[in-house]
A = this chain, B = another copy of it.
């Protein structure tokens, strides 16, 4: 039997959710809370498998509560529930490490499916939510392609610069003389049309060489 804690400040919504959840005979709502703080207190007294938290609650909101619960009860799975598909909320929740994020206007089956999936280590994202959040996450992933005229040696040096090494350290690591490293660095600066190693380091990081 899956024990669920339901935290939601609007009583009617909470009762509706409880009824929805308990249509499944493997799941049981064994705790209810009006806000995040109450949810945390309840978790200290009772054992739950899954906590379903509304994002917007008085006193302590869902994100805060999730953060606390994640650190104190690592095995507890957390599902966020909201009417808003606000990007920032989604990001925050994902960073905390919740097991799912669903909109309240979802249907009974998907809520139940999410609870069961959370137990198995899955992460439930409703399709509209995923469609919003994944492109957002990918933004930081994109990297412009690195200048192809750089030789492997030059790339190696550029990488070292991106790690913050000075010329002597680079020379040691690559088995070159300091003078050679300087010369190569000049070459790289030339090819990339940059001015100094600081700009090279920035370039290296932005192009994910390091």
Contacts and interface: CB of A to CB of B under 8 A. Distances in A.
Number of copies: 2
Main secondary structure of the interface of A (DSSP, over half): helix
Nearest to A196: B166
Contacts of A159: none
B131 A123 contact: yes
B127 A134 contact: no
Given A196-B166, A202-B201, A123 B130 contact: yes
Contacts of A127: 100, 114, 117, 120, 122-124
Interface stretch (A35-43, A54-62, A137-145): A137-145
Interface residues of A, number: 42
A161 interface: yes
Contact of A198 (B95, B194, B195, B197): B197
A121 B130 contact: no
A205 interface: yes
